Chain A
């Protein structure tokens, strides 16, 4: 099975900061990588699919990049509504594993 490892597990940031979250796959998954945002008590929301495609309606401050085993999610200027937990997920094969999550907290 492919393992997904995110770093850091949590980070503290301020509004306006540039935030980068990393996701590493244990095997080459090409661009079969999705990013989700989850707020407490809510279902996850899709941000990025296929490593770098921005889901319709998602603000352009979110971007994704990477290929193979190393991927990043970048928030160019953190907004108050972006404090949440972020998950990567591979869709290269099954089981479609998620990363363990990265919690973005207020500094």
Chain B
């Protein structure tokens, strides 16, 4: 069965960096992209970015550009999200999710639709002095 297992909780000081891992199993790792989503305490879900496990292409949310790096290691089927220059408002639970794609048939089909059925358990990152 598909599983995404994330690394454990972290406590960091402002200005530091954190690297969260997401180990995948139960499927061909390079066949699906990985998306990172975070959730601050009591707040909603925030899309951070996306990485193709096939060709390493990335797409980051504008607000994280320059502070975040998403990578994958196909030898261990693990995705990583590194966030630098941490601030107190980066305190959140960070989730990884596997992208699944609904493809459409017919002549000149539209682009596939991505959705997230498989999620990691979340990693709490606390930023505090």
A interface residues with partner B (beta carbon < 8 Å): 1, 30-32, 34, 36, 38, 43-46, 49-50, 53, 55, 87, 89, 91, 94-101
Contact = CB atoms under 8 A, between A and B. Distances in A.
6 contacts: A49-B113, A89-B45, A95-B47, A95-B61, A96-B50, A98-B46
A18 B90 CA distance: 37
A20 to B, nearest CB: 19
B115 A100 contact: no
B31 to A, nearest CB: 18
Contacts of A38: 45
Interface of B: 35, 37, 44-47, 49-50, 59, 61-62, 95, 100, 102, 110, 113-117, 119-122
Given A49-B100, A91-B115, 10 more contacts: A36-B45, A43-B119, A43-B121, A44-B116, A87-B44, A89-B47, A95-B49, A96-B47, A96-B114, A101-B45
Contacts of A94: 50, 59
Main secondary structure of the interface of A (DSSP, over half): loop
B114 A87 contact: no
A87 B62 contact: no
A96 B102 CA distance: 16
Contacts of A36: 45, 116
A66 to B, nearest CB: 14
Nearest to B63: A95
Q: Which 8 A-B pairs have the closest CB atoms?
A: A49-B115, A43-B119, A98-B45, A91-B114, A101-B44, A95-B61, A94-B59, A34-B115
B59 to A, nearest CB: 5
Nearest to A45: B119
